[in-house]
Amino acid sequence: MSLTAVLSNASSGLIAAQAGLRTASDNIANVNTPGYVRKAIDQTHRIIGGVGAGTEISGVHRIVDQFLVSAGLSATATASRWDQVARGLDNAQSLFGDPTSDTGYFASLDRVWTTFEAAAQNPTSGILRTQSVSAVEDFFNQTSRINSQLRQMVASSDAKAITTTQDINDLLSQIARLNTDISRASVGSGDATGAENVQSGLIEKLATLLDIQVASRSAGGVTIRSSEGFELVGDVPANLVYRSTDSTPGYLAVQYPTGAEQPITVTGGEMRALMDLRDGSLPGLMEQLGEFANRAAERLNAAHNASSAAPARALLEGRDTGLDLPAAVGGFTGSTTLAVANASGVLQRRVDIDFDAGTMSVDGGPSTAFTPANFLASLNTALGAFGTASFSNRALTLQATAPNGLAFDEGTSQKAGRGFSHYFGLNDLVRSSGQTAYETGLRATDPHGFTAGDTLTLRMTQSDGRPIRDVAVAVPAAATMQDLVNALNANSTGVGLVGAFALDAQGQLAFSPSTNPPVSLSVVSDLTSRGAGGPSISALFGLGTVERGSRADRLTVDTRIVQDPNKLALSRLDLSVAAGQPAIRPGDGSGARALAAAGETRTAFDPVGTLGALTVSLSDYASQFSAAVGRQAEAAESRRLTTQAVSGEVAARRQSVEGVNIDEELVRLTTYQQAFNASARMIQAAKELFDVLTNII
């Protein structure tokens, strides 16, 4: 071997040892640096012409386990998702207060029953009446407060989803720029580990926001894809957009330079959590709250409409039924009695209405036939000089001639589970703005009443919020409810391919999906109207999360009763008294007892949120609702702890592979130092040999 070869070999060893020392020193210096991945040199045996020619450094690489990296990113995304969900549901749960406390939300309904029980013992007490009204007010005020705060949480989740999308796009851009730097360094066999560490940190941060798949590129850098494979980072970053409306689920989409968009699947990270809270958990709680509060109002109103103030109220103003009078009166069964009483409670006129026979009789006299079309005229004839009946803006109003008042005995009258006065809301204790009870009582053969050609646009979405397609359903020219249902269920212009709408026995319209997993429906827009100024299809039947979720905001105690608690119906019309005796007595607390017992009446609850269809008392439903809220929060917290434990375990394993071990680095440092010294001695020896040769010459 020539002296030149010896010198070349020693020089290559010296350079390799220097590179090793530089790498080891960098590792040692960053032993406590978060996110730092230790690196090592790529040293190979150099061969020229089949003969060993020293060594060379082909590059520097980081010590990583790609399996652990992928597992870590997945665990990070899952843990981040459930951390966000758990915090959101914990905040939501706190709005209801401690279920075991006397000051919690559910305890406020218990106070309603206890105050009415007290009023039943002394129905003439102004203080007890005021306390009863205040208890009902407090319950519905708390209901509205909680719903308003839940809505604010939904809006906050939506706003945060927008900013999170911007953060994701910023990270994608930074990662793509680093791809260029890493590729440039890799081509020149340079040290790209610094840029790779920075990029790795950005990818870790991205994984907390969005679930991703990461693969290394042969030219250096990474390719990042969504969970189903859409490229988010390659040579250039993708641009993500978050799409949502007040009435439809939000989703994330890749926006191409052409403007076209491709919705992507999001299964983890803060983005999934925010969409879960915005479109799932929080609206579900709002729907449950609306269902609970509406059924409470229904039970109170049922008892109140079957009762009477003493003296009876002269003016009974009904609710907006959403229907014309013939449609509202049609379908009633059984019978009811409307009484006109003077200030002492003595009957002045009695009108018996038999819906089965289609007749009215006055003061026990001969019956007169009526139809839904002439019901109002027949009722006015029956009342005569003692009162008037009118129907305007879809609401029935009864007015007694002074100084008399009006009271009902609901009897056996029934439509959609409500008596006559209750159905029309003539003596409601709890009033609503808009529709809150979706059991319309309409039958398949009844006219639907909506303007032909008006459109209801529905969006079909997958379980994660990604849209499938929108369908604009036009109100058919054919007149019946069945025709409307058929139009909604059409395969090409309706929802027939993914499910079906059906009208139940109570006149409630509901959608049932037929796909697995089930498709969800939301209302994009509703331009329909049942008559001039009437409700839309979605408002009348409660279609869509927004419609049902806003019910809790629309319930308030009748302002006339709030202003004058003497109008509270704590007595009942007694038709069994002898002629000339008071049929309505101030000291009668039977109406108050009925109100106090309303909480124990078995009631049918629709499936909403996490609760299925139930037929239980209000008190039982309150317990189940409270438990469901707690279970959701507890389950999310359990998932949070579990996923954090998994994420921590994966991080620990990654650290054992990627982290700097100071003892190992010191060993390497010693090894490279010795190699450096040996190479230096070889160079010195070669120099001395050169000097000998030079002196000989």
- Kindly report the three-state secondary structure assignment for every residue of 243-282: EEECCEEEEEEEECCCCCEEEECCCCHHHHHHHHHHHHHH
Is the residue at 468 inside a domain? Answer: yes
Query: In 3D, which of 7, 22, 4, 48 has the Cα closest to residue 679?
Result: 7
Q: Rounded to an integer, what distance in angstroms lies between the CA atom of residue 7 and that of residue 191?
A: 26
Percent helix, strand, coil in the chain, to 5, is: 45, 20, 30
In degrees and rounded to multiples of 5, residue 81 shows phi and psi of -60, -50
Rounded to whole angstroms, the Cα distance separating 653 from 647 reads 10
- Domain span at residue 39 reads 3-63+659-696
Question: Does residue 20 sit within a domain?
Answer: yes
Contact 187, 164 (CB under 8 A): no
Is residue 674 one of the residues assigned to a domain? yes
Which of 558, 116, 553, 486 has the alpha carbon at shortest distance from 316?
A: 558
Between helices 66-95 and 126-187, what is the axis angle to 10°?
160
Residues with Cβ within 8 Å of residue 654, at least 6 apart in sequence: 65, 68, 69, 72
Give the span between the Cα atoms of 333 and 9, in whole angstroms.
Answer: 107
Residue 614 lies inside a defined structural domain of this protein: no
Q: In Å, how far are 344, 476, 620, 654 from 536, measured between CA atoms?
A: 44, 14, 33, 58
Query: Does residue 41 lie within any of the structural domains?
Result: yes
Contact 253, 243 (CB under 8 A): yes
Query: What pLDDT is attached to residue 188?
Result: 65
Report whether the peptide linkage leading into residue 326 is cis, meaning its omega lies within 30 degrees of zero. Answer: no
Residue 463 CB contacts under 8 Å (≥ 6 apart), including other chains: 517, 518, 520
Q: Are strands 467-474 and 455-461 parallel, antiparallel or unpaired?
A: antiparallel
Burial class (CB in 10 A: 0-12, 13-18, 19+), 325: buried
Which ranges of the chain have pLDDT less than 50?
none
* Helix residue ranges, H only, 188-222: 193-209
Task: Residue 106: count other Cβ atoms within 10 Å of its Cβ.
Answer: 21
Domain final residue pick, 492, 510, 541? 541
Entry field: residues in the chain: 697
Mind giving me the DSSP string for 111-173? Answer: HHHHHHHHHHH-TT-HHHHHHHHHHHHHHHHHHHHHHHHHHHHHHHHHHHHHHHHHHHHHHHH
CA distance 296 to 613: 16
Determine the pLDDT at residue 1: 54
What pLDDT, on the 0 to 100 scale, is given for residue 40? 85
Q: Which of 492, 525, 541 is the last residue of a domain?
A: 541
Q: What is the pLDDT, as a whole number, of residue 257?
A: 84
Specify the residue for token string 């009437």.
534
Nearest to 267 by CA among 92, 86, 75: 75
Could you say which of 482, 510, 541 is where a domain stops?
541
Q: At what angle do helices 105-121 and 618-658 cross, to 10 degrees?
A: 170
- Specify which residues 41 forms β-bridges with: 60
Number of compact structural domains in the chain = 2
The radius of gyration of the chain's CA atoms, rounded to the nearest angstrom, is 38
Residue in the block written with tokens 């045996």: 45
List, in sequence order, every residue forming a beta bridge with 216; answer none if it has no partner.
222
199 closest CA partner among 187, 214, 218? 214
In this structure, is residue 508 part of a structural domain? yes
| Residue 683 falls inside a structural domain | yes
Residue at token pair 């260029």: 180
Q: Are residues 282 and 552 in contact, defined by beta-carbon separation less than 8 angstroms?
A: no
The Cα–Cα gap between 38 and 64 comes to 8
- Amino acid 589 reads G
- Residue 678: how many CA atoms within 13 Å on its side-chain side? 11
Q: Does a structural domain hold residue 183? A: no
